[in-house]
Amino acid sequence: MTAPNAPAKISESAAHSTGSVAGLGRRIGRIAAQSALLAGVWYAADALARAAHLPVPGGVVGLVLLLALLFCGGVTPRWVKAGADWLLSDMLLFFIPAAVAAVNYGGLFRADGWRLVLVVVGGTLMVMVAVAFAVEQAARLERRLALRRVRHARHLVRA
Structure confidence by residue, pLDDT tens digits, 35-85: 888 888 889 999 999 999 988 888 888 888 888 888 888 878 888 888 888
Same domain, 21 and 73: yes
Domain interval for residue 18: 1-89
Higher-pLDDT residue of 101, 124: 124
Q: Which residues contact 47 (CB under 8 A, 6 or more apart)?
A: 58
Same domain, 85 and 110: no
Residue 65 CA: distances (Å) to CA of 9, 16, 128: 52, 41, 22
Decide if 72 is inside a domain.
yes
Decide if 154 is inside a domain.
yes
Radius of gyration of the chain from Cα atoms?
25
At residue 108, does pLDDT exceed 90?
Answer: no
Domain boundary among 64, 89, 114: 89
Same domain, 135 and 159: yes
Count: domains in the chain: 2
The Cβ-side half-sphere exposure at 100, using a 13 Å CA radius, reads: 6
Same domain, 72 and 108: no
pTM: 0.48
- Per-residue model confidence (pLDDT) at position 98: 66
Domain boundary among 89, 116, 146: 89
Contact 58, 49 (CB under 8 A): yes
Decide if 48 is inside a domain.
yes
Same domain, 114 and 82: no
Decide if 5 is inside a domain.
yes
